[in-house]
Structures are given as C-alpha cells and as structure tokens.
Amino acid sequence: MLLKEFEAGAGMLAPEQIQTLRALASELNPVQAAWISGYLAAVANQGVALGGVASAPAEAASTAVPLTILYGSQTGNSRSVATALADKARAQGAEVTLVSMADYKPRQLKSEQQLLLVVSTHGEGDPPDDAIAFHKFLFSPRAPKLPELKFSVLALGDSSYDHFCQTGKEFDLRLAELGATRLSDRVDCDVDFEDHAEQWQSDVLAKVEIQTEGAASGAAVVPFAATSQYSRANPFPATLLASQKITGRGSVKDTRHVELSLEASGLSYQPGDALGVWMDNDPALVEALLSATGLSGDEKVAVKDGEVSLRRALTETFELTLLHPALVKGWAALANNDDLNAVVADNDALKAFVPQHQLLDLALRYPAKPDADALVALLRKLTPRLYSIASSQSEVEEEVHLTVALVTDQRDGEERLGTVSGAFARRLEAGAEVKVYVEPNANFRLPADDNTPVIMIGPGTGIAPFRAFMQEREARGAEGDNWLFFGNPTFTEDFLYQVEWQGYVKSGLLSRIDLAFSRDQAHKIYVQDRIREQGEALFEWLERGAHLYLCGDAQRMAKDVESALTEVIAQYGERSTEAAETYLEQLREAKRYQKDVY
C-alpha cells in the first residue's frame, strides 16, 4: 500500500517512467534495491544528472581491467556466493559487472577480458533455469573463440547425484576449448559449500588483474541505504507465532501453515522469494545416535570455530537426517556388514537407499563403533532448508508465512522426521526462536504490468508462492486475470487455504480455478490432466500475453506438467512437438514461464 501511495504522488514522473521503475524493482533483491536507493540519493544530493555523476568515475576507471562475474542459480546459493565475490573484488578496486546468466548477452563474451563463473547444477546434470540460454549459446557454433579471456569457475552441486557439478565442469571445459585461459582451476563444491567457496574466492581474487599501470586509484563511493544485517551467514532469530495443521484428520499428509515474526529485523521480501530456515537437530535424535554408537557425547571434536563436545556438534553443526553416498560408503567400511556392502557395490541400489534412510538407521541396522572424530569425519555440515514464502508483506507486514509439509517415514516401528518440518510439527511451540534469512528469487516474479494475466500451477505445497502472489495483486489493485491449478489427494482433507481461495473467487480476483483431487474418484486425476482438459483456454491466455508459473515437486510433477503444456501448445497452436517445445522455451527466455521446483 505504501508503494502505491508513493507512486500516486510521483506527479513529476511520466507513466512510462513509473512502469520502468516497477520493472526494475521487480528484479532487485533487497540489497540491490538499497544500493539503487543510495545511488539515487547521491545523485540528488549532488544536484546533477546521472550522466554527470557517472562521468568522473568512468574516466578514472577507463584504464582498469574490467571483471565480469556471472552466476547461474536455482536456489540462490550461486547468486549469494557471486554477490559476496563481487563485493570483495570491488573492495580491492576492481571494476565489476555482476549479472545473472539469464540477463547476460552472450555475444559480449568476445569482448570480455576477465570472467568468473559461479554456477550450480540442477537435477541430473542440467543447468539451472537461468543458465540454460547461456549454456546453449556456449555449446553452439555461434560461440566465439576467446584467446584473450582469462576465467575461473566455481561449481556448486550435490554429490548425491551421479552428475556432480556437471554444469560447472561443462562451462570450464568449453571455455578452455574456445581458447580461454584459466586464472585458477575449477573448484567443485558439495552442499556444504561455504569453506570451499571462500577459499576459491581468495585464490581467484589474488590472480585477478585489478588495474593496469597508471590507472587512477580513486573510486566514487556511493552511499548505501540502510538494509538488514541478516543473511544466510547471520540469520535473524525470528519468533514462531503459529504452526497450524491445515490438512484434515483423515489426510495422508500433515501440512502446516507456519507464521514467523520479522519484527525489528529490517528483512524484506517479495512474492516469489524463499525463506531460509536454519534448525538444530532434535536432541532426542542426537541421544539415540549416541546410544547406538556407544559414545557418551562428552568427547571433544573440532569444528570451524574451535573444539566442542560431540553432543553439541551433532546438535548444531552436522547433518543427521539426510544421507549421501560417501557417508553410506564410509559407514559400510566401519560396519563391514555383507548386506550394506552389497548396497554400496551396486550404484542403483545405493541411489535408492540414500533417500530412504537416515544416519540413525545405519547405526541401528548395521552397527559400528566409530570414535568421535571418525564419526564427524563422515558427516556433512547442516545446511538451511529453503521454503517458498506464502505471504506478501503488503498484507502481513513484519511477518512471513510458510507452507510446510511434514517429512516423515516409519523405520522398524519408529518415526523418522525431517529436521525442519519435524521441528515445526512436533517440537516447537509458539514463542520459540527460529533462525531465518530471506533468499531472493529474481526468477520467480509477478509481471511488472498489473494488467498481465497470470496462470499459476501449484499442487501440494507448491501453492505457497501463489498465496503470496494473490495477496500482492490484491494489494496492488491489479486488474490482470488470475488462474490457479491446484491438486492434492482429497477435497475434504487437503484443499490448502480453501476459504481464502473461495474468497478470491467470490471477489473476482481469482478469475478461474481448476482443482485435481487425485483420490476423490476411482481413477486418479492430477493437475496435468486438468491442463489438458482446459488446453484451448490455457493456450488462448498464453497467446494474449499471460505469464505462466509452476511450483512444486521437480522429480515427477514438473516433468508431467511440462509434457502436458507441450501437448496443449502443439494441439491448439497447430505446431509440431518440437515447435511446441520451442514455444515454451521462448516463454522461458522472455521470463513469461518461471519455475520454482524442488
């Protein structure tokens, strides 16, 4: 509301200027927005035009060797590392351009002199969505020879997958094939990437050429507007306001609506962003693991900040609920169990085993007695869990809402819970402290033009960001049509936020809603089936400029939905399958098709 009032009072700006500002603001994270605010304040204080402010620093920096930092990020990790790298490089006096691969013009490559790439790998070796176009260009015949380029790659990935850090490896090899020279060797990072990323940053910045001889050492200092001090590395201790089950008693799912207070944090977010949640391990789980391994918990072990008790390290530092192949192999070497040895010897069996077990299962089913140091040597560090934000600050102000499905399974008659979802569902009461930070997602944004139609596909907890979208569009007074596809097992037990969606339908804000409750009839119906049923209308919406959004499970749902979308575009657009796939790809490149899948 405050933003609309501000825009209403901006009589000195032409409508097209306001539209340009909106478009820019939709792509900025909070730190970037603060920088822009500070920059404009500096311009106003100096009383000159933007061109006048820029001319002096530009002349001084004209002899500096430019440094371009590109990032390709699915969950925000690559973006955050690249941003930190850019800050360090600027502090050293570098002339830095930091840009997402999605926004980079690949033909600029031939004029680059120094290039640093930070890129994650998505799924089974695929580039993240915002790196697809750049990856495609680099491996095309149009890619230029790059004999003058110096580069280095930081690859982020998950060693649980066969194609670990595949995208980073491909970029590294391809740039070398095109004649570029490595500033430093590629570094491949696992999910606990921080230490390796910091070392790579230090190594590569020691080799980057900051200025040529005779370059001016002065740099224009642009004031920053106040912004939050809280981040992934320094999370905010939010107060848990509520964790309410929103599925029925008879549901096969336990899905929670979680509300957290951000009061006094300075944290801000946009619809489409994620909330990172740091959570300690369940003390009961730690005690069960200590009992199973015959350790007291009082043993001292080394962590990054010094030496602590094993009990504290297992509670606060190390991952206990998510296995990875190296951990299973390491445990097999300790246990020397024939059954477990057979699992690790079969790659397919190992891949199936990892997501179906926790560390405690290994300790109970395949007993071993490692000492404290040997145990922690097997473990990864705890990492935050990311949740799509289910609220708009236009509606909830200094709160943030999440939609969290309890991760639970039965092992030998005992319940195994996910670290964060288990805490929200079983352990934490209102008033508890939860460490959080905002992870911006510039690749999942509402259209800047409020008249643009929006199609939202979000089964299960994929509904979360669309609740935020609707709150935001209502607050803006957006007049564009809105269409929701939602699915879950049953209407009576699993229609998440049912009253709210019915209210949006009644008010006219939600133009259409198509529901797929898979277990409410003899044959199962999913959102992709509703997409095919409504294909003609959906294609008509796309043809009149609708933006398309997909949120939810990446392994099966997203693939099935994309298959249905391709079929619809082919049928009603009278295109071949290949042409329909190209149509969908063009929507993605135009940021009219955006995904938040996990």
Instruction: State whether residue 371 is helix, strand or coil.
Output: coil
Structural contact between residues 378 and 330, judged by C-beta atoms closer than 8 angstroms: yes
Residue 549 has pLDDT above 80, yes or no: yes
For residue 595, what is the enclosing H or E element?
A: strand 593-597
Residue 287 has pLDDT above 70, yes or no: yes
pTM score, whole prediction: 0.83
Contact residues for 443 (Cβ-Cβ < 8 A; gap 6+)? 100, 102, 129, 130, 591, 594
Annotated domain spans of the chain: 64-205, 236-279+384-439, 283-377, 454-597
For residue 188, what is the enclosing H or E element?
A: strand 187-189
Over the stretch 407-431, which tens digit does the pLDDT of each residue have?
A: 999 888 889 999 999 999 999 999 9
Structural contact between residues 375 and 295, judged by C-beta atoms closer than 8 angstroms: yes
Scanning the structure block, which residue is given the tokens 């790809």?
Answer: 585
Position 42 scores a pLDDT of: 43
Among the ranges given (159-173, 279-293, 530-544), the one the predictor scored with the smallest mean pLDDT: 159-173
Residue 45 has pLDDT above 50, yes or no: no
Scanning the structure block, which residue is given the tokens 């935050």?
Answer: 384
Beta strand 255-261 with 236-245: parallel, antiparallel or unpaired? antiparallel
- Residue 353: CB atoms within 10 Å: 18
Residue 484 has pLDDT above 70, yes or no: yes
At position 3, the amino acid (one-letter code) is L
Beta strand 187-189 with 306-309: parallel, antiparallel or unpaired? unpaired
Q: What does the block give as tokens for 240?
A: 């848990």
Residue 113 has pLDDT above 90, yes or no: yes
Contact residues for 315 (Cβ-Cβ < 8 A; gap 6+)? 280, 281, 283, 286
In CATH terms, 64-205 corresponds, of 3.40.50.300, 3.40.50.720, 1.10.287.1080, 3.40.50.360, to: 3.40.50.360
In CATH terms, 454-597 corresponds, of 3.40.50.80, 3.30.360.10, 3.40.630.40, 3.30.300.30, to: 3.40.50.80
Over the stretch 237-278, which tens digit does the pLDDT of each residue have?
A: 999 999 999 999 999 999 999 999 999 999 999 999 999 999
Contact residues for 434 (Cβ-Cβ < 8 A; gap 6+)? 237, 238, 239, 240, 260, 277, 279, 428
Instruction: State whether residue 583 is helix, strand or coil.
Output: helix
**Side-chain half-sphere of 130: how many Cα atoms within 13 Å?**
23
Residues of the chain with pLDDT > 90, as a percent, come to: 77
Q: Please tell me the CATH code under which domain 283-377 is placed.
A: 1.20.990.10
What's the CA gap between 194 and 73, in Å, rounded? 15
At position 548, the amino acid (one-letter code) is L
C-alpha dist (Å) from residue 584 to 562, 580, 587: 9, 6, 5
Position 38 scores a pLDDT of: 47
Q: What does the block give as tokens for 505?
A: 């339908």
- Assess whether the region 64-205 and the region 454-597 belong to the same CATH fold: yes
Q: Please tell me the CATH code under which domain 236-279+384-439 is placed.
A: 2.40.30.10
DSSP 111: G
Residue in 414, 428, 434, 496 with CA at minimum distance from that of residue 245: 496
For 430-467, what is the HEC assignment?
A: CCCEEEEEEECCCCCCCCCCCCCCEEEECCHHHHHHHH
Task: Read off the pLDDT band of 554 (50, 70, 90).
Answer: confident
What's the CA gap between 188 and 193, in Å, rounded? 9
